[in-house]
A and B are shown apart, each in its own frame.
Chain A
Amino acid sequence: ETGVTQTPRHLVMGMTNKKSLKCEQHLGHNAMYWYKQSAKKPLELMFVYSLEERVENNSVPSRFSPECPNSSHLFLHLHTLQPEDSALYLCASSQSGLAGEETQYFGPGTRLLVL
């Protein structure tokens, strides 16, 4: 399998549930990202991991918790979410640090609905 994959593709959860989103990249990249995409808004960067170390957290609420066990896998753990967290969550990867290689490649996303 190639590219960036995400599971599950669709998720419905209650506000008291705990769930996790999974992302896997097969491109040999060393940086991975979580984005949130809501209707009529730009993509919002949530987390950046480079060489498995978190390098950026754009003031994301603590109910979102990322985990990057290795350079190929990225998780987003969710707990006590709010209805306004319903969105498309996108994972991306890139090869950082080399000129011409920072372009990001996206997975298909997880469509999340919080009831």
Chain B
Amino acid sequence: QKEVEQDPGPLSVPEGAIVSLNCTYSNSAFQYFMWYRQYSRKGPELLMYTYSSGNKEDGRFTAQVDKSSKYISLFIRDSQPSDSATYLCGFGGYQKVTFGTGTKLQVIP
């Protein structure tokens, strides 16, 4: 079993749609949970991070963590063409982060 599983997509949605991106993990030792956004030919950009189960909201983005099910999600409301990118989930411990393969999202105007 892979330590992290992420649906690779690609995912195409119309502008204004709600987007749901998901990752599952198997390592109970992970302490914190992150989402990164990576535009084409750029480095990953930290979008959100959280430590506990539940929801964390930042503008149009909501990160959800369910530690009991070992499942994290990123929701994007009112999606925009500028949200088109690859989204990476990350799971962290001391000085090490394990990443998913990324989900490529395309928001169509």
Contacts and interface: CB of A to CB of B under 8 A. Distances in A.
Most buried by A among B4, B88, B92, B96: B96
A97 B95 CA distance: 8
Interface stretch (A13-21, A63-71, A77-85, A104-112): A104-112
Q: What bracket does the count of chain A residues touching chain B fall in?
A: 20 to 34
B44 to A, nearest CB: 5
B43 A42 contact: no
Contacts of A102: 32, 92, 94-95, 97
Given A42-B4, A45-B96, A96-B95, 20 more contacts: A6-B43, A31-B95, A40-B8, A42-B100, A42-B101, A43-B88, A90-B44, A94-B95, A102-B92, A102-B94, A102-B95, A103-B32, A103-B92, A104-B90, A105-B46, A106-B45, A106-B46, A107-B43, A109-B41, A111-B41
Interface of B: 4, 8, 32, 34, 36, 41-46, 49, 51, 88, 90, 92, 94-102
